[in-house]
Structure 1
């Protein structure tokens, strides 16, 4: 199986450096969101893929439609929802860094210990479980096919972490908006071909 992940285009929530999890259903913004996605999609061949999956969130669905140019059925899967930060969803990273510096890593991202304070947030273990269930199902169904998945920055980090670091997402950086990552899986063994490839 060949599986390619695309991170959605930019939203104003991204631009404002806020946590944008599964409770924040923002749309793409115009310039660095829709317009940039269209530029990148012009260099993308949707015909290489046998099946297309997307997170049901607006920013992912719109990005999927742009990249597939209306020529592919898009299957929505709730397992591809972005990480659930609970009460922290929508908070500015500057505010989190000021109040809770112990859960912000050197790259300015929230680490696994954030649930000490955001009690109703998703744990890394819960997140890895739903990502691994999705990946296992893709391999069972499409072991000899090419799969496209349009989703979210933190979710794609966990997908990569599942394959590469036993679910330790803190070892994987967040991709840029509209960045691409490609894995190939043979006999249950995954190899990374590229991470955060930009097409425009």
Structure 2
């Protein structure tokens, strides 16, 4: 199986440097639309046998742009972005000031954030749902090419599931509209590229 992930295009929530998790269903902004369309011109949707997307607006919009209306898009709730609980929508600057112990040197929230956002998703639960999705894709499409349009933190965890036993803190966030590709054979995944930009 070859599986390619595309992170959704930019939203105003991204631009404002706020946490944009499962409870924040933002649409692409003008730049997000424009850049995704530019990147999609260098993308061949015909290579893929099947397309999956997070049901969130920003992902579905991006999936439609990249597939150019030529592919059926299967929505899957397991591809929802990480759920930050009560922290969803908060500015990272505010989090960094109030809770510096859960912000890493790259300015991202780390696994210990659940000490403060009690109803947020744990890394373990997140890894579990990502792993279930990946296992199902491999069972269904062992010799196919799968396209998945989703979210930055989710793509980090997909990569972490394959490469670091679910330790997402070792993997950077891909850029908006950037591509990540894995090749999976005999149940073993290899990273082909990460954070590839097309425009």
State whether TM-score is above 0.5: yes
Q: TM-score range by the shorter chain?
A: over 0.9
- Secondary structure in structure 1 of the residue aligned to 2:131: helix
Correspondences of 1:46-61 after superposition (within 5 Å): 46-61=45-60
Q: Give distance in 2, aligned partners of 1:2 and 1:175.
A: 18
- Secondary structure in structure 2 of the residue aligned to 1:3: strand
Q: Give distance in 2, aligned partners of 1:188 and 1:106.
A: 34
- Secondary structure in structure 2 of the residue aligned to 1:20: coil
Cα displacement string for residues 33-53 of structure 1 (whole angstroms, at most 9, x for unaligned residues) = 000000000000000000000
Q: Name structure 1 gaps, 5 residues minimum.
A: none
The reply to whether residue 71 of structure 1 matches residue 67 of structure 2 is no
Cα displacement string for residues 118-144 of structure 1 (whole angstroms, at most 9, x for unaligned residues) = 000000000000000000000000000
Which residue in the other structure is 1:130 paired with? 129
Which residue in the other structure is 1:112 paired with? 111
Correspondences of 1:132-171 after superposition (within 5 Å): 132-171=131-170
Q: Give distance in 1, aligned partners of 2:59 and 2:186.
A: 30
Q: TM-score, normalised by structure 2?
A: 1.00
How many matched pairs? 199
The reply to whether residue 16 of structure 1 matches residue 31 of structure 2 is no
Aligned-residue Cα RMSD (Å) equals 0.2
4+ residue stretches of structure 1 with deviation over 6 A? none
